[in-house]
Amino acid sequence: MSSAIEEEKEILESIYPDEFKCLDERTFQITQTIDPEESNCSDPPSVIFIATLSDEYPNEIPEMKIRISPPHRWLGEEQMKCLREVVHQNAEECLGMAMVFSLCSILKEEVNTILCKQCEKEEKEIEDRQNREIELENAKFQGTPVTVESFMKWKKDFDIWRDEEIRKENEEKLREALNSTSNSNVKKSILEKKLTGRQLFERNMVKVDDSEDYD
């Protein structure tokens, strides 16, 4: 083990007394717990950073691995790729100096940022879904906007319905008028003229004395 690696190990052990674990003389593991308030996440995972240092360290970037425990729905492959890129970029900027602590710090910061953004995104999706449900519910009571085309179609259908209702009503009145008398002359007059109910009433032909003879 080189002096640079030994020195890095001592630094990490002092900074992370509970989080640091030496997997072998060159490979170090740091497990950081994500704070719910900092990440705006009610069930944040832990982020594990594993670095294997070569004899050229710190003039050579360590072999690095990032793991999430337990796996989290807001930290999928796309987010993990982003984390790896950010950490690698910072490792390049830190060449020539002890860097594991800096990389762990930037990693934790990025995880917090991603979790906050994912939380905001999920809350926005829930809010949008609730608003759509409210709009659909309100639409039931607001009806369909009226246009010239929709009004003309409605009027055409209404006129057909109204004419049919009038026809049925007149037929019913005619039937009642015919049934109200047995006088053949009255029935003949009704059928010939097809008087409306109002005309029958005005002419006193709806109720006719059956005993009256017009022959």
The predicted structure's pLDDT at residue 157:
92
The answer on 173 and 96 residing in a single domain is no
Domain of 20: which CATH number? 3.10.110.10
89 in any annotated domain: yes
- CA–CA dist 20, 103 (Å, integer): 14
Helix 184-193 crosses helix 148-179 at what angle (to 10 degrees)?
160
* Tens digit of each residue's pLDDT (9 = 90 or more) over 42-65: 899 999 999 999 999 999 999 999
Same domain for 30 and 112? yes
Rounded to 5 degrees, φ, ψ at 168 are: -65, -40
In this prediction, residue 198 carries a pLDDT of 54
Both 19 and 112 in a single domain? yes
Contact between residue 45 and residue 65 where contact means Cβ atoms under 8 Å apart: no
- Please tell me whether residues 90 and 166 are part of one structural domain: no
- Across the range 192-199, mean pLDDT stands at 57
Tell me, yes or no, whether 166 lies in a domain: yes
Which residue range is the domain that position 178 belongs to? 148-202
pLDDT class of 93 with cuts at 50, 70, 90: very high
Three-state secondary structure along the chain?
CCHHHHHHHHHHHHHCCCCEEECCCCEEEEEEECCHHHHCCCCCCEEEEEEECCCCCCCCCCEEEEEEECCCCCCCHHHHHHHHHHHHHHHHHCCCCCCHHHHHHHHHHHHHHHHHHHHHHHHHHHHHHHHHHHHHHHHHHHCCCCCHHHHHHHHHHHHHHHHHHHHHHHHHHHHHHHHCCCCHHHHHHHHHHCCCHHHHHHCCCCCCCCCCCCC
Residue 135 located in a structural domain: no
Among 61-70, 138-147, 204-213, the least confident range: 204-213
pLDDT at 190: 65
**Mean pLDDT rounded to a whole number for the chain:** 86
pLDDT at residue 14 in the model: 96
Assign 181 a pLDDT band (cuts: 50, 70, 90).
confident
pTM: 0.61
- Is residue 111, in this structure, part of any structural domain at all? yes
8 in a domain, yes or no? yes
